[in-house]
């Protein structure tokens, strides 16, 4: 059965982190996204930018080891506001190239964000944009939580690595590299769709300003 959506834009942010909680406020340091074609079961385009953290510019040793991101990469990164502008430009290009829309109730082919858990868009991006007085576009307020659908279908709870293993897939690349996490989420979605998973919007805050 043809899914309701034609494309998923799979996001997986990496953020500043510490071995012990409450040592700082998370800031996005890697902003990756893959465009996944649901009918062809393939990734068509990728976006990745490193983001310069402003509150805690020096990454913790724990963060460096967990993500594999180097200090020089975030030092040379762009501020979040500029990264969002670059992303919107990229999104404009690919929506034109593949003739789809991120808007609701469109007669065109449609795309929607997908994330492994609500944290990326509901907590991380929302809080940082609010704290730094950055406008959060309406397109970031509606998404599919893949983990929620995965739990509904399999009754299995765990992280992305455990979910992949549960369905017989191995993780490809480096864990906690945002781009690799997004690619592996796409692989998981592709397999779950062949096993009958139905895509549905799990969060929609577009009516809240």
pLDDT in tens, 188-202: 999 999 999 999 999
- CATH number where 156 lies: 3.30.420.10
Assigned domain for 37 exists: yes
Can you read off the two tokens belonging to residue 88? Answer: 């919107």
- Per DSSP, the chain holds a count of helices (H) and strands (E) of 7, 8
Assigned domain for 80 exists: yes
- With 0.85 as the threshold, say if the pTM is over it: yes
Q: What is the pLDDT of residues 154-164, one digit of tens each?
A: 999 999 999 99
Alpha-carbon separation of residue 172 from 81, 110, 176, 183, 193 (angstroms): 30, 28, 11, 8, 19
Q: Judge residue 162's burial from the number of C-beta atoms within 10 Å of its C-beta, 0-12 exposed, 13-18 middle, 19 or more buried.
A: exposed
pLDDT of residue 104: 83
Domain that holds residue 179: 7-204
Assigned domain for 154 exists: yes
Residue 195 near residue 189 (C-beta atoms within 8 A): no
Assigned domain for 137 exists: yes
Residue 17 near residue 49 (C-beta atoms within 8 A): no
Assigned domain for 2 exists: no
Please tell me the total count of domains within the chain.
Answer: 1
Buried/exposed code over 151-160 (b: 16+ C-beta within 10 A; e: otherwise): eeeeeeeeeb
d(CA 201, CA 92): 22
pLDDT of residue 209: 58
**Residue 145 — φ and ψ, nearest 5°?**
-90, 105
Per-residue pLDDT at 3 exceeds 80: no
Q: What is the pLDDT of residues 81-134, one digit of tens each?
A: 999 999 999 999 999 999 999 988 778 899 999 999 999 999 999 999 999 999
User: Which residue numbers are catalytic?
Assistant: 14, 176
d(CA 156, CA 207): 32
Assigned domain for 172 exists: yes
Assigned domain for 46 exists: yes
Assigned domain for 178 exists: yes
């Amino acid at each position: 059965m043809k899914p309701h959506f034609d494309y998923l834009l799979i996001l997986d942010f990496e953020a500043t982190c510490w071995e012990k909680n409450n040592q700082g406020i998370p800031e996005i340091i890697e902003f990756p996204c893959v465009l996944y074609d649901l009918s062809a079961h393939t990734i068509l385009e990728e976006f990745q930018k490193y983001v310069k953290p402003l509150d805690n510019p020096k990454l913790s040793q724990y963060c460096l080891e967990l993500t594999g991101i180097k200090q020089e990469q975030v030092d040379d990164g762009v501020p979040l506001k500029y990264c969002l502008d670059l992303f919107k430009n990229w999104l404009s290009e690919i929506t034109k190239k593949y003739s789809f829309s991120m808007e609701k109730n469109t007669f065109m082919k449609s795309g929607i964000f997908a994330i492994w858990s609500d944290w990326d868009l509901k907590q991380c991006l929302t809080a940082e944009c609010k704290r730094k007085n950055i406008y959060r576009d309406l397109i970031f307020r509606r998404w599919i939580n893949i983990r929620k659908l995965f739990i509904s279908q399999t009754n299995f709870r765990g992280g992305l690595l455990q979910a992949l293993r549960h369905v017989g897939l191995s993780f490809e690349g480096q864990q906690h590299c945002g781009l690799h996490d997004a690619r592996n989420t796409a692989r998981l979605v592709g397999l779950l769709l062949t096993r009958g998973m139905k895509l549905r919007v799990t969060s929609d805050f577009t009516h809240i300003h």
